[in-house]
Structure 1
Amino acid sequence: MPARYRYRIEPDAARQAMPARTFGCARVVFNDAIRCRTDAHQAGESISPAEVQGRVITAAKATEARAWLGEVASVAPVQSVRDAHRAYRNFFDSIAKRRKGRKVGHPEFKSRKDTRQSFRLTRNGFSLRPNGRLYVAKVGDVKVRWSRDLPSEPGSVTIILEPDGHHYASFVVEVAPTPLPPVEREAGLDLGITRLATVATSDGRRQDVANPKHLAGKLRKLARLEREKARRAKGGKNRARTGRKVAVQHGKVTRARRDYQHKQALNLIRDNQAVHVEDLNTAGMVRNRRLARAIHDAGWARFVRLLEEKAERHGRTVAKVSRWLPSSKTCSACGHLMAEMPLKVRTWTCPSCGTAHDRDHNAALNILAAGRAERLNACGAHVSPSVRVAMGDEAGTTPDAA
């Protein structure tokens, strides 16, 4: 099953020009492929992916305007054409409702001003040297920070330039499934801002997952850097230098948040056979300007996605309950439903049975009960969540992830 392993790479000064040129070529070919498909559609012409590739790469190389496409590894532009084709396929599948999740819009052009650039190479475009270096076609040997060994021979690699100026190599490899021994315990999760998650388990325990608020800890420094950037002249080197400093701070926040969520998600998956969470509409919730920054800082969507990926890999189950479940204002002891429950109310007492509730823990108990009831309705009583085999996940380990 496929998995992705990511490492920091350090091309020397003499080898940084060719990756930058390859980023540009991959971006131009992607845009040309979208433009070619759009022009063909407007002309009423049916065009295949092979014909698109012939027009935007093979024929384009023979012209003076695109002759420089032959200066980079030929694998990268070909993969860009395939990326454009996949983007169109996702768009059409979303329109036809064959694709789950959020709606996918029409493919958009990439810009040279995008802060993140990348290109992908297949097996004939790279190789691993015995000395531990990565050979990239038309670039040469590149130093890699090997934070862990690759489990198998990689099938492809994506070279990524992050906004902070660091380069990364993301390898796609095949890994063996690692199912965990079955356990009896299940858990219900209530996601929040004060605490990242409040966990109620089937054996009556409570666990609080703290929210480190990584972005909030950097806001003062980021505000100072943004003011410094605003004073610089647009298009100047000093403005670009300050922009790089801002990107470095955001990169630290991202890596710290990702590392923390990986660890907490793995702990929950190890300890519970099934984890039940609410199917939250995070994209809609961040439209609240008062809570948007805090929700983004908590990273609810990423945390749930990591739970699902690790459950697939380790043979566990992650189930979602309806977002319309009144989990916070329903008494978990007697089922009494309160008429309203403002966000400022963190503890309350049930007027029916007199039970004192912590708002988040009560919601977690209701989510656990609703998730288990849904499973019983679907599978019958005394049916435990099945052991599942993983499809792999992003092993995003970098040496400076802390």
Structure 2
Amino acid sequence: MQLRYRFRLYPTAGQQQALARAFGCARVVFNDGLRARQEAHAAGLPYIKDTDLQKQVVTAAKRTEERAWLGEVSSVVLVQALADLHTGYRNFFASVTGKRKGPKVAPPRFQSRKDNRQAIRLTRNGFTLRPNGRLYVAKVGEIPVRWSRSLPSDPSSVTVVKDAAGRYFASFVVQTDPSEVLPEVTPEVGIDLGLTHFAVLSDGRKVSSPKFLRRAERKLRMAQQDLSRKAKGSSNRKKAVARVARLHARVADARRDHHHKLSTAIIRDNQAVYVEDLAVKGLARTRLAKSVHDSGWAQFTAMLEYKAARYGRVFGKVDRWLPSSQTCHVCMVVDGPKPLNVRTWTCGACRTTHDRDVNAARIVLAAGRAERQNACGGTVSPSA
């Protein structure tokens, strides 16, 4: 299984200039390749092959006076920029023809030098890990790395990223060891995600919602007000933009750290984990949009899924239309819809009193078990 390991980089001033040059060259090559294919399509010409496009916008362009400065950066950076363009087109074609599942994929778009996030990707012939613990990037130099953990294997590629807050990161792609599979345990758990409580587990545990964005709103409001008063194009405005970006980055880092710790604990303690397949995009269009985005359900669910695959656990999603808040987990009788302000209710059939969220988590667990036992893979009703 391939995973990404991200570490903080601390390049010197000269290395930052070299990285900025690499970011710019990769962006120009990407845009040149995209423009060449768009012009060929408009002229009714056949689709330009990947190798022909590389000869046109990289090899031949370096010999011209207008693009001679492309030779100042590693050729690996330029080739990988075109590889990203090829991947974008393949994903677009697969989405249009129906071969790719999920939401529709748009065609590649031009990259802007004003984008807050810049990145380059290098394969093994463009970087090395030095014995002194530094990352050597071709035509940039040895960049200090803050190693928070060790890599499970030698990386196959690295992506050097500069985020909106001005921080530099190295994202390594590594192959994980199959020996990381955890020993089997007995418990299984269903999870009901919400806003009042971030997660309610079928065993009765409730994880309060940290609300990282809500807690940082006052500082963000003041920083954004300060930004609005700065003249466009001024140095003070650039500093104010960076200040707002750092506050948002701090919120995102805290949320990601919380999701990692919680998902790891759940996967470690349970053999099977089931969650509801929520329509996060639809919920984000309601008046609860800010709270939904602040919770980060999609990121947390994705972490549960890949960690379950990594450590040999079972992960499953149940139908979002499952009446989990209306069904009694004791007798499986559907008691009818209930408004959101009703947090406890009593089943009309067996007279059992339920906590709304805990009961929903137990219904999710029952539905997940039933779906797992269904050999055909179709949707079935949860059994008692």
- For 1:370 and 1:152, the matched residues in 2 are separated by 38
1:18 aligns with 2:15: no
Q: How far off is 1:259 after superposition?
A: 1.1
Give the share of equivalent positions with the same residue, in percent: 55
Q: How far off is 1:120 after superposition?
A: 0.6
Matches for 1:199-210 after TM superposition, within 5 Å? 199-200=201-202, 205-210=203-208
Q: How far off is 1:96 after superposition?
A: 2.0
SS of residue matched to 2:212: coil
Matches for 1:2-401 after TM superposition, within 5 Å? 2-44=2-44, 45-177=46-178, 178-200=180-202, 205-288=203-286, 290-378=287-375
- For 1:112 and 1:359, the matched residues in 2 are separated by 50
For normalisation by structure 1, the TM-score amounts to 0.90
> What is the identity, as a one-letter code, of the residue corresponding to 2:267?
I
Q: How far off is 1:332 after superposition?
A: 1.9
- For 1:146 and 1:302, the matched residues in 2 are separated by 24
Q: Which has the higher contact order (CA 8 A, sep 6+)?
A: 1
Superposed CA deviations along residues 2-37 of structure 1, whole A, max 9, x for unmatched, are: 222111111111221110111111111112222222
Gap regions ≥5 residues in structure 1? 381-402
- For 1:275 and 1:175, the matched residues in 2 are separated by 21
> What is the identity, as a one-letter code, of the residue corresponding to 1:227?
Q
- For 2:339 and 2:93, the matched residues in 1 are separated by 41
> What is the identity, as a one-letter code, of the residue corresponding to 1:323?
R
Moved more, 89-98 or 231-240: 89-98
SS of residue matched to 1:41: helix
Q: How far off is 1:379 after superposition?
A: 7.6
SS of residue matched to 2:189: strand
SS of residue matched to 1:265: helix
For normalisation by structure 2, the TM-score amounts to 0.94
Conserved 8 A contact 1:3-1:173: yes
Gap regions ≥5 residues in structure 2? 378-384
> What is the identity, as a one-letter code, of the residue corresponding to 1:81?
L
Corresponding pairs, count: 375
Moved more, 32-41 or 215-224: 32-41
